[in-house]
Structure formats: C-alpha cells, structure tokens
C-alpha cells in the first residue's frame, strides 16, 4: 500500500467573506465572481483552529492563513499568526496591503512571518482603481516600502509584490517589474484566471495530472475542504477537516479518486477540472539575469532577487530553497 503523504501547503480560511476591496477579477468579491451569493462565510472556531494546528505541526506544511479574502481583516489575526509560528509552521500570506500600516508591519516582522506578498497590479492610480476597485495605490505602495524598511536586512519576512495581468493593466506589466525589482525580494506576475478557470494564451501542450492534487489543500472556515484553491465555492465535496483530519482526507476518498482519474487522463470526468487549464502552472523554466533568478511557467513568472534567495520558504514549487 502506498504510504500516506501530507500536503505541502495548507490554505486556512480563518475568516471568509470579508474584504475591503472589490477587485472585478476576484472569484469571491468581484463583479464576475461565480455564484457569489452561494459561498458559505464565517470565522473559524478557535478551538478547532488549535486542533488543526496540532494535526499540521508534525508535517511542517506551509500555511497560508486565508483563502479568497483579506487576511488582515481576520479578527485578532496577530494572535492566530503567533500561534501558527509557535507551532513552528511556515506562514506565507497574500494581502491587499491596505491594513499593512506601521504598527502591523512591525508586528509581522517581529513574528517572523515567512513570506508576505502584497497585491498591487498597477503603477498608475487610475489603473489601480480599475483593477482593484478603489483609489488607494499610494497608500499600498507606502505600506510596502515601510514594511521593507521595518524588515531591513533581516531574513524574514520575504517580501514580494504581485501583478495579475488583465486587459486594463497589460501596458504596465513591464514598467511594474522594472519599478519594483530592485526594491523587493520577489515579484510575482500571473495571467488572470477567468471565471471558467482558464488563462488566455499558450498552455502546456500535453495535459498532465494537476500539480495541485499533490501539493495543496484548502480548508474553509467551517472545516469543509475544497478540491483546490480555485474551488472557491466548494463544488467538490471532499469532507470536513475538523471531523476527518487533513491527512485522512488527503489520502483517502474523493481526493484519491480524483488523483487516479487525472493519472488515467480522464480529466473530463471531474466536472471542475474538465475545462480548467490552471494545471499548466508547473515545470518552471529557470534563468538567471543580472542578479535576478526568473522562474517561468505558462501561467506565472517570478522575478527573484538573487541576494535574497535564502528567504524562499521550504517546499516552494518554483525555486528550491
Ligand atoms: C484572492 S487574493 C486574497 C488575498 C488578498 N486579499 C489579496 O488581494 O492579495 C490572492 C491573490 O489572488 C489574486 N487574484 C484575484 N483574482 C484573480 C483572478 N481572477 N486571477 C488570478 N489571480 C487573481 C489577487 O490579485 C491576489 O494576488
Ligand atoms: S483584495 Fe483580494 S480578496 Fe479582496 S477583492 Fe481583491 S483579490 Fe479579492
């Protein structure tokens, strides 16, 4: 019998349903969000959270304290983050940066959060408003620069900015990379995912079993588990991590069945996977360019400052730490 294995990354929906932006592209808060009203929302029960940490800790996955919402809006987020770190878990987060004020930055640095990506998607305020729904570019940029200052030469947190390419900001992609590459540790650029879970343009010519089924699990606030990070409205019923445990759900039942269908090339038999092409985010091509290491797949690329590679969290799928 194959030995049980644990996911390398666990997305934990500590609070779901709350965001202080409404980016049009967002699967849960945007105007194109699929079945927006059908999503279950709430805050994770504290005792259940502790029990989950106890299960996760021996396996040391990377933990992202959010699903598709704004993590800094989680009530008592610093308390949750401290507990995750006290369990010796690697914590990586994405934030829209609005609440990343001086006090928050100081505390995130003190907690040695492993990685923080701030989503920006623009260099001009008008573009930012179009793609992120509010005119707060300067505030977010100020907060990133302050976080960098607060962190200084310390190893952690690894600090990145991200840019999701869509029609409204396409012309700023190159300028964004030029502007931020000497300031941050890493820039993430990715294609926009459509509501049908597809990216435009070229994808890998041969479909392979999706990397996500071997890498990441998403646990929602009520313990329900989603198939992958784009199963935002829990279309596939996997089970409940509070009742059944992550290890058990990851190795048995539905996830195992779906993995087998992928391995047999029967992608169309899994409704949510049938037309998705986000599986094409794998096998990165790596190249070095004047002090930067660039990792590129069909859907994403990362521009890493070579001098700061030491802070890459373990288990990174693009570049080995
Ligand atoms: C869903 S957000 C949640 C965290 C936080 N609120 C933020 O915006 O960073 C995580 C990342 O997904 C990106 N994102 C949102 N909608 C997307 C889409 N349709 N396609 C690709 N990325 C998307 C965001 O820009 C952000 O970088
Ligand atoms: S800030 Fe993040 S969670 Fe909020 S709407 Fe934008 S992408 Fe969605």
User: 144: Cβ below 6 Å to ligand 1?
Assistant: no
Report d(CA 151, CA 145) in Å as an integer.
10
The answer to whether 124 touches 168, Cβ cutoff 8 Å, is no
Nearest alpha carbon, ligand 1 atom 2: 68
> Average pLDDT of 150-179?
98
3-class state of residue 119 by DSSP: strand
User: 21: Cβ below 6 Å to ligand 2?
Assistant: yes
CA distances from 15 to 71, 76, 182 (A): 7, 11, 34
Ligand 1 atom at minimal distance to the Cα of residue 30: 16
User: What confidence category does residue 1 fall into, taking pLDDT thresholds of 50, 70 and 90?
Assistant: very low
Which of 164, 186, 189, 230 is the best mutation target for the ligand 1 pocket, counting ligand atoms within 8 Å of the beta carbon and taking the most? Answer: 164
CA distances from 283 to 39, 210, 237, 319 (A): 32, 12, 29, 10
Single pTM value for the model: 0.96
In this predicted model, what pLDDT tens digit does every residue of 59-72 receive, in sequence order? 999 999 999 999 99
The answer to whether 144 touches 118, Cβ cutoff 8 Å, is yes
| Nearest in space to 25 (alpha carbons), one of 131, 156, 141 | 131
H or E element that contains 105: helix 102-110
Which of 9, 13, 24, 26 is the best mutation target for the ligand 1 pocket, counting ligand atoms within 8 Å of the beta carbon and taking the most? Answer: 26
User: 68: Cβ below 6 Å to ligand 2?
Assistant: yes
User: 64: Cβ below 6 Å to ligand 1?
Assistant: no
User: 144: Cβ below 6 Å to ligand 2?
Assistant: no
> Residue 34 has what pLDDT?
61
In this predicted model, what pLDDT tens digit does every residue of 16-28 receive, in sequence order? 999 999 999 999 9
Report d(CA 8, CA 23) in Å as an integer.
28
User: 26: Cβ below 6 Å to ligand 1?
Assistant: yes
User: What confidence category does residue 82 fall into, taking pLDDT thresholds of 50, 70 and 90?
Assistant: very high
> Residue 237 has what pLDDT?
87
User: What confidence category does residue 321 fall into, taking pLDDT thresholds of 50, 70 and 90?
Assistant: low
The answer to whether 128 touches 98, Cβ cutoff 8 Å, is no
In this predicted model, what pLDDT tens digit does every residue of 289-306 receive, in sequence order? 999 999 999 999 999 999
User: 22: Cβ below 6 Å to ligand 2?
Assistant: yes
3-class state of residue 144 by DSSP: helix
Portion of the chain with pLDDT greater than 90, in percent:
83
In this predicted model, what pLDDT tens digit does every residue of 102-114 receive, in sequence order? 999 999 999 999 9
> Residue 310 has what pLDDT?
95
> Residue 196 has what pLDDT?
86
């Amino acid at each position: 019998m194959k030995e049980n294995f644990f996911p390398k990354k666990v997305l934990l929906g500590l609070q779901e349903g709350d965001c202080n932006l409404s980016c049009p592209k967002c699967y849960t808060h945007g105007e194109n969000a699929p079945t927006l009203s059908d999503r279950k929302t709430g805050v994770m029960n504290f005792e259940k959270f502790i029990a989950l940490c106890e299960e996760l800790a021996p396996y040391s996955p990377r933990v992202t304290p959010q699903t598709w919402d704004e993590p800094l809006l989680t009530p008592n987020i610093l308390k949750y983050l401290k507990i995750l770190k006290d369990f010796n878990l690697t914590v990586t987060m994405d934030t829209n940066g609005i609440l990343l004020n001086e006090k928050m930055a100081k505390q995130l640095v003190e907690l040695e959060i492993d990685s923080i990506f701030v989503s920006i998607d623009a260099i001009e305020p008008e573009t930012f408003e179009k793609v992120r729904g509010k005119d707060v570019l300067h505030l977010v940029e100020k907060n990133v620069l302050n976080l960098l200052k607060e962190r200084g030469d310390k190893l952690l947190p690894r600090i990145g900015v991200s840019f999701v390419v869509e029609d409204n900001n396409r012309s700023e992609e190159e300028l964004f990379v030029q502007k931020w590459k000497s300031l941050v540790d890493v820039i993430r650029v990715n294609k926009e995912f459509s509501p049908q879970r597809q990216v435009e343009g070229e994808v890998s010519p041969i479909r392979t079993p999706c990397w996500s089924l071997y890498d990441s699990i998403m646990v929602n606030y009520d313990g329900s588990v989603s198939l992958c990070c784009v199963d935002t409205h829990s279309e596939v019923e996997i089970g409940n991590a509070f009742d059944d445990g992550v290890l058990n759900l990851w190795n048995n039942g539905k996830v195992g069945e779906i993995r087998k269908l992928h391995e047999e090339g029967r992608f169309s038999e899994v409704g949510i996977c049938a037309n998705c092409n986000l599986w094409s985010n794998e096998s990165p091509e790596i190249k070095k360019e004047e002090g930067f290491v660039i990792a590129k797949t069909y859907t994403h690329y990362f521009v890493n400052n070579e001098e700061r590679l030491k802070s890459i969290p373990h288990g990174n799928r693009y570049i080995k730490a």
